[in-house]
Structure 1
């Protein structure tokens, strides 16, 4: 069945804990095949022999718990389970159980809406052709399920637990258990009689009460698959762990693997609560939380604009003591005394004043805080955070309720761990969840550092001098865009646009409209390098005539013009002036593609592995359970009686073929040669039985170790390469920076006071830069900007993605963003200042080699139309002085 696991894991892009869970389900179906009327005790014994953590199903049918941390992807795993059981075992009937209305509605969307971003079957080809039928608590009683007219193929029932619980008001049976006129029995009894019903329980810790267990048992499924992040039940005697946990992927491991945000506890520098009342501490925490929230909001927007990602609107969560306290906080935040009333219309209160359906509706409304067009930035709640509040934009939590440190950690952070972009970005502000806890800072740190703690928290100490300065995201669009009257898309309250004090070249609205249409026409001409290899060709009469014609076709004159009133704009004059602007405010950056000619062959050369660092100890049977808890679950398949490869080498080979660049058919001989070397290495100090255990336990780590060495022996046989220029020039991309609004852009000619913290300065005052403001990473870069202002006709610092230039770093190809581009009367320079100690760094060398090739290809393209050559210059930072010239630097350090 492993081919189904590989296919589904690949199509659904499963993360490794999800894939591991699917592999375990595959193994379970081998050792304890599910079926109606099966021997439950025998199945438990078979599973326990290989997975010792499962000591009891805790149901009247085989049921297994997959405990995955919040944010790892339990819903997608449910989709993978259903896909696997249908494709591998022909199972057609599934029952998905939700613990509340919020999750019920979310599951309906995730399973049925193909356009939903979290549709669980996206990529499963069989379901694209014949989609599963979704039966819900809203439509189950409308047709005969056996007629095939409504419920055919794979049938997925999604129900809220309240729909099937036998205990309801008035002593009546729930509607699902009443006689149906269509089927002659209740729908509940129909489900219980199915030969292949599989139960999937979302947030399964919610179904451990007697009523829930009884209702589920009465459905008589052949298999139960439980998913939860908290595999225990809280009782008066403490937490009782589940006895059927087969996968335990805890929060700490999810943090380590980068699947969720990093939580951090926040305090003030030199904070001393002595002499402060509880109300004063509370007010201080709340205000600091808002200040931190405002800072995070700016950082998120800056990152989104820099990386061309959607803007994320963060919100702040305040945990109140009770409903009275929540109301007081709400009134405070809405008052003019709190941040000048800025949050009056941006706060909502969620508390226990509502119950039942009203409560569920209130919780469901919280989902709207994720939408960028929804104003809420502060949510006040009283112990109302429930499963299903699946937001990704919670970034700051201010707990004001008295609680011990462990409860603060476990209950506060769970709802805020999901990452807005699905993965870590490497930008701290985007990847971190902040918990403002001035008065409990040390207590929380001590709790988090205990050996049995699920997580280890970062610490953030607020510097009030820095945090007190209001920051904003400044968008630095090109001077050309500003002169044409263009504005960045999706401006927010935190967005400042540099250069907006400049007057556009075209002041009349109709002429500005024509200029912008002209620019759009020119942008489309980027893709015609044969016709337009450079912006200078825009000045050719025949090209300008074509642009005028295209503008005339797109131009919709204002109503006054249609009626013959008002001055008619001169389209040809506007086009000519726009073309002049474009040529003045652009440096030709071609889009260059290097593509192979003819047939391409590739592979790996035979080589001898260096296995000296591969020294895994013998794995004893007694270690399996502890290993399950601590080592990415790799040990779970190693119990006695598990599936075994016929040859030891197969463990290595099957691990290697999972890599995308390794084909079994093309590399079989090499793979078995490497596998034999590996097996012989382990046999050199282990018995054959211990070697088998090590190969099974560490299969993936061993495969990664070997695959890394294979990269050095990769070969490509190509008849040759050809350079294709897909664009003669490219539009200048906008940049985005975070800066303090109290500090206006600094004069680039003046050395800043704190050169060790250059990133905080925004520089302006340029005359020849193609952008109004720039940031520099070092004072050497600032000095180089002074030289460029004096020596070039135009220059700029490229934004990410401007060049589409890539260098090789191991097996990966990563984007290279040069520091500067400057154009003189006879050359275009790509300039890179670097610390002298970094010049021999392999990555710096790889970037240089890629840039030199790019410049050579760009120069060849320029030569085809009489343009300027390109030259790459890698400059030691200590050689940059304001009395140097570009030509002199290029003479000494040009490549």
Structure 2
């Protein structure tokens, strides 16, 4: 791309609703991570609990990489604000409450929202999170005896076709069990079960998962299956349509029907197989009518429409028409008012209007959030797009449509053949390069044809001229489905959705059946043979290859460099998570728009000399690695070990700082509900809720009990089940007599919390303890105090398990950011390309020092067991990995290298204390349990390292001089044992 390319004129403001709602939501959610956003005061306590769990800083940090990304977060918050905070009973009312002029053609009389999210950015997770939000709120309302029309326990999830329907079954019911004759599914593989830690607070998981597991109705069960208090129905829209038993879902070619079929279509329906109207078919048609009647009879319903761009159709500008899908929804919604809610999901919620220079997009009027393809590309959440502009492709005449031979039969044009050859060339290069790094990474090519008559021609070309085997080419279209029958099609479908893990097929050929819902990760090459210039079809086609293939953190740096190069108009340096599209002139305007924003690049003939994986190279164990291996001892359990705490001196603990008690009481809100109160003890019973609360409790005693459990969870890490040594560090669970801790908490609250005597039972003062800042203070103060007061009394022998670095048999390193070494189990060690100078110097220093017998740079992503646990400054437990392990003849060292300005960071200090405590505990073991050497911890600052090297000092001497020495027990802040 030329840097001087002129940008196209900006489009007019097309999404005013989404923009206004996003601005409002961002203002209301300021401080949400810290727990003091205005939004938390405007939603129900149940929603506030969910928002704390989803977006609270503490919860987000605890889950690591398992969190909602920016686009998902905005979609969830915008929907909550629109539906719960603004509470508009209809779409026109929502425009009014945001003080926006409503479009003239708005007809819905119910709440209606469209979430515009790019393909591959996790729309299904947002759908399930919103379902959880509705389910928990409705459950709590029913428990309280309230009728809140905003929430429901009745859901309908509608897909445009069978491919998306199958994906939804996978998400809600789990993957199909291989070989099961009944099509049984493994619920443990369902999204809500696998990622329950993200979707649901722990106390809510069992009930919510039980609801999903027992209330799902497949399309053939709707209205027939008996469920509990609620329903979760899944279907494709054809199950809602009145009329034909089946409808073409995907393909553009519909040959003219023979005369006898036309006659049968208009004659009265009569049973009998000869007429194509068997009793089974008639029964299914009757049942379909019952499905609509059943859904229409429900008192409330929330409908999630997946890939909802199919719902709407614009024949000409200003005149909207409803398709059958929307007509069915309109019938179901009749009479429900605001108790019918429609939430649409689509990456392309618009219609193409006009033609030629006057062609433009008309977006749906109910879009409430916008996370488009460009935003997803900038965030690295989808593959980067690169156009293959080979010389022969650039010279193609515009013959991308299949031709006809002398007999009138279709045949591939020369342009189509050239594009297929270019795609195969790219695919083979990717296969060869990827295999050198990861043998199980199998790139695939997708060919999208113009109609079903062309797919067999493409398959024949790929096998005859392309040299592929028959099993390496898979053709998928609705005609194929009709030929095979349901049982055979189920096998094809299973093979299709498992292509990421299979060597074959290598190429998938389809018309439009796979334009959505085909959610695999390994599509790396797309050949669009369609001649249609409809942009929505192009976006849907490209969407099939956008999902990330290389998701591990070790590849992030290479992918980030690619995005930077593309933004600067350069070719990418590698093809990791690059989607190569064989360029088609009909879509040039779409490509130009992305390139103008620095989001799409080009690939020329010169790219053949560039490795698809850049300078990434695998490094395995060297011959004789045993001499340089490290055996890390982990104390699984000490026989009859007793952990106890010295009594806490409440008066030495710091009081709450910041707001005064009077200021805190103003944060509680108004209109609190009281259920009952024991006049003798003053203890509150029943459900007691206040605005701004962190947890729902039934009284002060219940609060103390929950706070005790919370602090215990912050300090403890359960052991793995059975005798298996965990893949991460296994630490003894911190035992504490809960009654004793509860007593200390009670004394502290009465005597010390607010630096004066505080009676939590007088005038309901205890309610301030529910506020997030107070709860955080209590957790932090007691977690740190208890960690410092821990005492251990081991009795008998200790059970020690060893984990060896050589368990990780291979690392992936960049040749340009790694150093060849000889005293390590690997032949090369990596260092960060950004701010990695200190680590690179350390590797050279260790390699040059004869006193260093062995060393290794630890990989956070591979050596996951070589981690130490510590207590963060906020009182929560966390893990971290030191940078190096070094062995000399005298000792073994954990080494953490740090820039000078970071040495006194509070968390760095706590890591030191935890590592020192670990070393002391291990050094108390018999020598044969710790490689016959003592273990030490070194925090090596940049100034110390530079001074040592400048003076010609030996690394072994510097490590011995800088190692941490044992301190008195009272100074072990941050240690967990």
TM-score normalized by the length of structure 1? 0.59
Cα pair distance change 1:225/1:60, threshold 3 Å: closer
The answer to whether the 8 Å contact 1:603/1:715 transfers is no
| Displacement of 1:283 | 3.7
The answer to whether the 8 Å contact 1:316/1:379 transfers is yes
Give the match for residue 737 of structure 1. 811
Give the match for residue 827 of structure 2. 773
Give the match for residue 158 of structure 2. 97
Cα pair distance change 1:312/1:328, threshold 3 Å: same
Residue 926 of structure 2, aligned match among 858, 862, 865: 865
| Displacement of 1:109 | 4.1
| Cα separation, 2, equivalents of 1:336 and 1:785 | 56
| Cα separation, 2, equivalents of 1:266 and 1:183 | 49
| Displacement of 1:734 | 0.8
Give the match for residue 114 of structure 2. 66
| Residue 233 (1) aligns with residue 351 (2) | yes
Paired residues for 1:593-608 under 5 Å:
605-607=656-658
| Cα separation, 2, equivalents of 1:428 and 1:299 | 16
Residue 218 of structure 2, aligned match among 123, 136, 139: 136
Cα pair distance change 1:809/1:290, threshold 3 Å: farther
Residue 474 of structure 2, aligned match among 336, 342, 348: 348
| Displacement of 1:760 | 5.9
The answer to whether the 8 Å contact 2:625/2:826 transfers is no
Residue 798 of structure 1, aligned match among 829, 843, 858: 858
| Cα separation, 1, equivalents of 2:234 and 2:220 | 10
Cα pair distance change 1:758/1:263, threshold 3 Å: closer
The answer to whether the 8 Å contact 1:78/1:200 transfers is no
| Displacement of 1:715 | 9.4
**Post-superposition CA distance 1:663-695 (Å, at most 9, x none):** 9x999xx999xxxxxxxxxxxxxxxxxxxxxxx
Cα pair distance change 1:63/1:718, threshold 3 Å: closer
Residue 115 of structure 1, aligned match among 183, 188, 198: 188
Cα pair distance change 1:61/1:136, threshold 3 Å: farther
| Residue 827 (1) aligns with residue 949 (2) | no
| Residue 385 (1) aligns with residue 514 (2) | yes
Give the match for residue 539 of structure 2. 410
Give the match for residue 850 of structure 1. 911
| Cα separation, 2, equivalents of 1:805 and 1:334 | 55
Paired residues for 1:672-687 under 5 Å:
none
The answer to whether the 8 Å contact 1:203/1:387 transfers is yes
Cα pair distance change 1:92/1:892, threshold 3 Å: closer
Cα pair distance change 1:220/1:731, threshold 3 Å: same
| Cα separation, 2, equivalents of 1:183 and 1:325 | 36
| Displacement of 1:262 | 4.5
| Residue 23 (1) aligns with residue 23 (2) | no
| Displacement of 1:427 | 1.4
The answer to whether the 8 Å contact 1:855/1:870 transfers is no
Give the match for residue 578 of structure 2. 434
**Post-superposition CA distance 1:295-347 (Å, at most 9, x none):** 4566567xxxxxxxxx7655343445677876666556557976xx7x87544
| Cα separation, 1, equivalents of 2:817 and 2:84 | 53
| Residue 317 (1) aligns with residue 446 (2) | yes
The answer to whether the 8 Å contact 2:158/2:236 transfers is yes
Cα pair distance change 1:594/1:344, threshold 3 Å: farther
Give the match for residue 167 of structure 2. 106
Give the match for residue 79 of structure 1. 131
Cα pair distance change 1:190/1:333, threshold 3 Å: closer
**Post-superposition CA distance 1:560-606 (Å, at most 9, x none):** xxxxxxxxxxxxxxxxxxxxxxxxxxxxxxxxx99986679999853
Paired residues for 1:224-263 under 5 Å:
224-229=341-346, 230-234=348-352, 239-255=361-377, 260-263=381-384
For structure 1, the 5+ residue unaligned runs are 33-42, 302-310, 484-497, 500-521, 534-592, 610-643, 648-652, 673-702, 741-756
The answer to whether the 8 Å contact 1:406/1:447 transfers is no
Paired residues for 1:326-475 under 5 Å:
330=459, 334=463, 345-350=471-476, 354=480, 361=489, 364-365=493-494, 367-373=496-502, 375-397=504-526, 399=528, 410-419=539-548, 427-428=556-557, 433-437=577-581, 446-448=592-594, 456-457=599-600, 463-467=607-611, 474=618
Give the match for residue 329 of structure 2. 216
Residue 6 of structure 1, aligned match among 33, 42, 48: 48
| Displacement of 1:154 | 0.9
Paired residues for 1:616-635 under 5 Å:
none
| Cα separation, 1, equivalents of 2:288 and 2:456 | 53
The answer to whether the 8 Å contact 1:300/1:429 transfers is no
SS at match of 2:519: coil
SS at match of 1:606: coil
Give the match for residue 685 of structure 1. none
Corresponding pairs, count: 674
**Post-superposition CA distance 1:169-206 (Å, at most 9, x none):** 74789999989999999453343233324433222222
The answer to whether the 8 Å contact 2:871/2:910 transfers is no
| Cα separation, 2, equivalents of 1:3 and 1:376 | 51
Cα pair distance change 1:358/1:708, threshold 3 Å: farther
Cα pair distance change 1:482/1:371, threshold 3 Å: farther
| Residue 167 (1) aligns with residue 243 (2) | yes
Cα pair distance change 1:21/1:439, threshold 3 Å: closer
The answer to whether the 8 Å contact 1:473/1:738 transfers is yes
| Displacement of 1:383 | 4.3
The answer to whether the 8 Å contact 2:471/2:505 transfers is yes
| Cα separation, 2, equivalents of 1:645 and 1:530 | 50
Give the match for residue 548 of structure 1. none
| Cα separation, 2, equivalents of 1:181 and 1:324 | 30
| Cα separation, 2, equivalents of 1:46 and 1:201 | 21
The answer to whether the 8 Å contact 1:599/1:719 transfers is no
SS at match of 1:775: strand
Q: How large is the RMSD of aligned CA atoms in angstroms?
A: 6.1
For structure 2, the 5+ residue unaligned runs are 1-42, 55-66, 142-147, 175-186, 246-264, 270-276, 313-321, 398-414, 561-575, 661-667, 672-690, 697-709, 715-745, 755-770, 793-797, 832-838, 965-977
The answer to whether the 8 Å contact 1:818/1:831 transfers is yes
Cα pair distance change 1:116/1:728, threshold 3 Å: closer
In terms of mean alpha carbon deviation, does 178-187 or 208-217 score higher?
178-187
| Cα separation, 2, equivalents of 1:215 and 1:774 | 63
